[in-house]
Amino acid sequence: MSVPLSTKIALPNGESYEQPLGLFINNENVKPVSQGEKLISYNPSTGEPITEVHCATVDDVNIAVDAAYDAMKSWKHVEPTVRVNLLIKLASLVDEHKDTLSAIEALDSGKPFESNASADVQSVADYLRYCAGWADKLHGTQIPLNSKCMAITKRVPLVVGCIIPWNYPLSMASWKFCPALAAGCTIVMKSSEITPLSLLYFANLVKEAGFPPGVFNVLSGYGKDVGSALSKHHKLDKIAFTGSTATGQRVMADAANSNLKSISLECGGKSPLLVFDDADLIEAAKWASFGVMYNTGQNCTANSRILVDEKVHDKFVDIFINQLKEDWKMGDVFNKDTSLGPVVSQQQYDRVQNYIKIGVEEGATIIQPLKDQTPNAGFFISPTVFTNVKEDMRIVKEEIFGPVVTISKFTDEKDGVAKANDTIYGLAAMLFSTNFERANRVADLLEAGSVYINSSNNEDVRVPFGGMKMSGIGRELGQEAFNLYTVVKSVYHNYGSRL
C-alpha cells in the first residue's frame, strides 16, 4: 500500500494531530522520486509502530540541494531585517504549536512530555529569538591600508547540508538551522531515520512563517544513502553533523573527497565529573544525577564517568544512589510525574543492555536502584551504577549512550585530572569543589570544550559549544555559531593612482 503524504495520529493523552509524511522540498510536502523503502517510526514506550514516512533516495537529495542552491540566488540578497522578522514569526509559531511538537517528541523519541520534551521545544523558540537578534548585526570590518587603498570584509552565507541525530530531533536541528537561517543560508536537513516526525511537522511552520521556497528543506532517510549523498554533494558549501564519532569521520572524509566543503562535527563524548574532598557532596550528587540520567543518558555530554576523591568516595556513592531514587521515575511519558523515559529504539536498548552485561563480566559492582520499577513494555532501562571499576574497562572507556554511569576513585588532584583526561573524547567535563583557586586551576587543565564548575549540562544558547579531540570540530551556539555558516570575503577598494 502506498504511503500517503499525511496521516492523523492519536496521542496517548487523548488528542490527535495531522502528521506530514512526505519529504519537505520547496515548501511542499512531496513524495520521493521512487516509491521504494519506507521508514517506520516506533514508539519507544511500547515498541509498537507509530506510522510510516517516505524515505528519500540520492535522487531526492539532488532535487532538494538544487532547490536550496537555486533559492540562494535571491535569498542572499534579502535585507537582514526581513530575516529578523521571519525568525521572530517562526519562534511565535513554535510557541503556538509547543504542545503538539512536545507530544510528537514524547511519542517518537520517548522523552517525558513535562520534564524533557517541553523544555526541548522551548529551547527552539528561545534560540530562534536569540539568532534573530544577530541576523542584522553580522557585519564585516574596514581595514585602512594606505592613503589610497582600503579593504572591507563581508560575511557570505552558504548552501548547507545538516545531518541531525535522534537524541534531540528538533533541538539539535535548531542548533543548526537557527544561526544558518539568521546568516542568510539555505538548508537541506536530514533527520534521523529513528525520529523523523517532529522535524517534518516543524517544516510546515517554516512555510507558514513566510520563508521562501527552497530555503528550508527536510529529507527523511538513511545515513548510508541520504547522509552520504549530502556529505559528497558538490553544490553544498558546508555540512553540519551531529552524531557518532565513526560516522563523523566518514562525513569528514566524504566532504574532503568531494569539493572540500566546510564541515562542523559534534560527535561522541565520555564526560568526566570530578568530585573533590571539599565539594558539597549533596549538590554534587544532585547535579551528577541530572547530568547523566536526563534524556535517559542519551546525551553526548552526559557525565557518565564520575571520579571521586578516595577520602569521600563511599559517602558520595551513598548520597548519589539515594539521589537517583529521589530524582527519577519511569513510566508513561505523558504522565507529568514521569522523569525518565525509555531509550529510543530496540537497537539502542540491546546496545545498552550489552554494555551492562560487559560491565558485570569485567568485574565491576552493579547497582540498579530502580530495577523493580522498570516497566516491562517498551525500551525502559533502570538507572545503572557501576562501582569498583578499573580505568581500562570498556564501560569506562566507551560511550554507552544510556542511563549507565561508572564511579571510581582518585588519590589527589594530579591523579584526578589525569584520569579525567584519559579518553579519546573532549566534549565536556565537570568538577565540584568549594575551593575557588583549585576549581579554576583544574578547569584549565581539563581537556574539554565545555567545563562546568559545580554544575552539569546547564548549557545556554548564548555560550559556544563544541568538542576537542575526537568529540568534534567547530563551535555551535552563541556568537561563534555564525562563523560556521558564513565565509569571509575580502574586497579591496583603490581610490587613487598607483604611483
Per-residue pLDDT of 217-273, as tens digits, reads 999 999 999 999 999 999 999 999 999 999 999 999 999 999 999 999 999 999 999
Rounded Cα distance, 65 and 188, in Å: 6
Q: Tell me the C-alpha distance between 106 and 410, whole Å.
A: 39
C-alpha cell at 135: 541576523
Catalytic: 266?
yes
> Which pLDDT does position 498 carry in this prediction?
72
Which residues make up the CATH 3.40.309.10 domain(s) of the chain?
272-460
Q: pLDDT tens, 298-309?
A: 999 999 999 999
Distance CA 43, CA 194 (A): 10
Q: Give the rounded distance of the alpha carbon of 311 from its chain centre.
A: 36
Place of cell 514524547: 106
Domain 6-267+473-488 - what CATH class? alpha beta
Determine the 3-state secondary structure of 481 from DSSP: helix
Q: Which three cell numbers stand for residue 423?
A: 579518553
- Mean per-residue pLDDT for 481-485? 97
Q: Are 38 and 133 in contact (CB under 8 A)?
A: no
Phi and psi for 367 in degrees, rounded to 5?
-130, 125
Alpha helix locations (H) across 76-217?
A: 80-96, 98-109, 118-134, 171-183, 197-209
Position 390 scores a pLDDT of 97
Judge whether 114 and 336 are in contact, CB under 8 Å.
Answer: yes
Round to whole Å and give the CA distance between 400 and 425: 13
8 Å CB contact between 364 and 328: no
Q: How far apart are CA 205 and CA 92, in angstroms?
A: 10
- 266, 399, 447, 476: the catalytic one is 266
DSSP annotation of 293: H
**Sorting pLDDT into bands at 50, 70 and 90, what band is 28?**
very high
Consecutive H or E run containing 251: helix 245-258
Domain limits, CATH 3.40.605.10, in the chain: 6-267+473-488
Rg, the chain, Cα only: 24
Q: What is the C-alpha to C-alpha distance for residues 196 and 53, in angstroms, rounded to an integer? A: 8
Pick the CATH number of 272-460 from 3.40.309.10, 3.30.1740.10, 3.90.100.10, 3.30.70.2190: 3.40.309.10
Residue found by looking up cell 538551522 in the block = 177
Grid cell in block for residue 24? 519537505
Q: What share of the chain in percent tops pLDDT 70?
A: 100
**pLDDT at residue 1, as a whole number:** 54
Cβ burial, residue 265 (10 Å; 0-12/13-18/19+): buried
